[in-house]
Each structure stands twice: as C-alpha cells, then as structure tokens.
Amino acid sequence: MEFSASEQRAMRRALDLARTPGVPLGPNPRVGCVLLDADGAEIAEGYHRGAGTPHAEAAALGEAGADARGATAVVTLEPCNHTGRTGPCAQAMVEAGVARVVFAQPDPNPIAAGGESTLRAAGVEVAFGLMEREARALNRAWTFGMEHHRPFVTWKFAATLDGRSAAADGSSRWVTSHPARVDAHRLRAQCDVMLVGTGTVEVDDPELTVRDEYDEPLAHQPLRAVMGLRELDPDRRIFNDRAPTIRLETHDPREALDRLHQLDRQHVFLEGGPELAAAFVRAGLVDEVVAYVAPALLGAGTSAVGDFGISTIADTLRLRITDVTTVGTAAEANVRLTMTPKENH
C-alpha cells in the first residue's frame, strides 16, 4: 500500500505517543493516534493512558473537534470494533467524518477486531501495514498473548560464570552487582506478573516488588504469583500489602499460565528457583531468557536451572542471542544476555 511522507512521519509520532512513560501495564495494548488535515499537517494527537481511559483515537478526536471531518487518522493499531469500558473507535471515526484511516497492526484480539470492515462499509478509505513490525514490537507481549492464548514468559536468572546461582551453603546474596539488580528491576517493571515457586518463598522470603535505583517501590506494582502446593507462612514478605499476590496451586506450568491468561495478564517474569525454571523449560513455555552473568566463579553450589531431561549433547537446548549488554562499570560490571529458544521462534 502507498503511504505519504506525512503519514509516515505521523506514524512515527503515534508510536512515540504509544510509548509514553508512566502508562500502567494492563490488559490493553499501548496505542497512539495522530490526525492530519488534507495538507498533511497535524490537527490533533492522543494515546491510550490505561484501562478505563479513552482510547487513543477517542482522545485525538476529542482534541480535534469539528476539525476531524475530512481528516486522515494515523493509528498504531486497527481501531477497535467493540464496546467495552469505552465505545468502538471505528464507529467514533465514522461519526466524526474521518476520511482516511492508516493503521500499522491489524488487531489480533477477536473481540475487538473488525474495525477495518466497519470503516470501509461506511465509505472511509483504509490502508494498513505502515510500520507494522515496529507496532508489533511495541506490544510484543500483548500481541503474543492474543495469538497464543497465554502470557509471554521471560525467564530471568543471575549466575556466576560457571552457572551457579547460589553457593554450596545456600547463600546467594548477592551473585550479581547493584547495577545489574537495578537493571533487573527495570525489566520487572515492564511485566505484569512476577512468578516464583513456593520453595523460593520459603527459603529466600522475597518481597518481589519493583523498586527504583534508590530501592524505593514504584507506584505501580505487578501481580505477585506463587506457584506450588506447599503450605507457606502467611508472614512471608510476598504476602504483604505492597503489591497484590495470588496463589497458583499447581505444579503444571501450563495450568498456571492458563489461570494468569484468564486474569488478562500478558507478560510473566519468571524469577523462581532452578526447579521451577526447569519445569517451564521442560514444558516448552519459556519464550525469552534474560541472564545476568557475573565475572565470578564458585565451583560448586546451586545451578541456575535444574534437570529438564537432557542427557546427551545432541539434545542441547540451543538459544539465539538477541542482545548482549554490559551493565555497570569497572568492578561492578556484569553482562546481561537476552536470548530466545530457537525452536520457539
């Protein structure tokens, strides 16, 4: 499809709007919208600010008022076609008199999809696919959840150069440096579930909140999920009031993810111990691996992952590296490796 230079500029701006910091994670995707007049000049813009707030298109239409008639709407996601907490954006565009709609990514949500057909049926010109790859990346976990009917799983672990997450006596604080831990909290904040097993809760007593570089909790906290059947002391820190917590009383990773999917959770940050990690790896339910590697050696101790059934080198689970970053400087430097299992992607 053909797109004008002004539409391309507007889509870049819409993507920037959708990335606006501070928007709480939730069941809805991040979306940005820019309205252009007949000469390609911007009339108005908007972005979705979280569940229950006006969608990006509605925000832009509200800012434009009567100037929306005859305009081109440039949106990062296909305008929705259903009534939820807010009305359908496709119909709002029709009623506002928008003449052309350009969107990046078709909506993979079957409940909300169909905006393109509604717009075309009303005589609105529609084009899509402009910067679709960038739009899909923006809502990576949400898109994955819609297409796979389960949350995207990032398994994060910290280990020494020889793959140990704890020493022989069980001590593990701290394998990695302070800059690496700050960076891990940054990644935690991009997810909407923090998942550990009952063993980690019993032994390490983590609070599992997201904190800033000053070790202060952020205003918006992901859901804390504890998976397993073991009885736990209700005074464990994970059950405090600093973030919501649920129990997933199962040993089956797929059952746990099904429950979280039913709760509209899109991105799980798996922070459990080696046995929980092995269970997810064994089930083929790890979509991304983030490893913080410290330039240190223990020689013995707990491995970062438990036995998941590989007994010969031919069956090695191979990972594709997508990013390598040095976190921290000089004596505090660690390496962050981001990888995906080759057979998953």
Active-site positions read 57
Do residues 108 and 132 make contact, with C-beta atoms less than 8 angstroms apart?
A: no
Structure tokens at 63: 């800012």
Helix (H, G, I), strand (E, B) or coil at 214: coil
Q: Which value, to the nearest 10 degrees, does the dihedral of the CA atoms of residues 296, 297, 301, 302 take?
A: 50
Distance between CA atoms of residues 215 and 184, nearest Å: 12
Phi, then psi, of 278 in degrees rounded to 5: -60, -35
Q: CA of 25: how far to CAs of 165, 181, 189, in Å?
A: 30, 21, 9
Q: Single out the residue of 84, 90, 30 nearest to residue 57, CA to CA.
A: 90
Phi, then psi, of 13 in degrees rounded to 5: -65, -40
Do residues 130 and 11 make contact, with C-beta atoms less than 8 angstroms apart?
A: yes
Which residue reads 């819609």 in tokens?
146
Do residues 167 and 174 make contact, with C-beta atoms less than 8 angstroms apart?
A: no
Distance between CA atoms of residues 29 and 139, nearest Å: 6
Instruction: Say which amino acid occupies 339.
Output: M
Is-cis flag, bond preceding 155, omega within 30? no
Do residues 93 and 61 make contact, with C-beta atoms less than 8 angstroms apart?
A: yes
* Residue 76 burial (CB count, 10 A): 31
Phi, then psi, of 157 in degrees rounded to 5: -145, 160
Concatenated DSSP letters for 232-257? Answer: --TTSGGGSTTS-EEEE--S-HHHHH
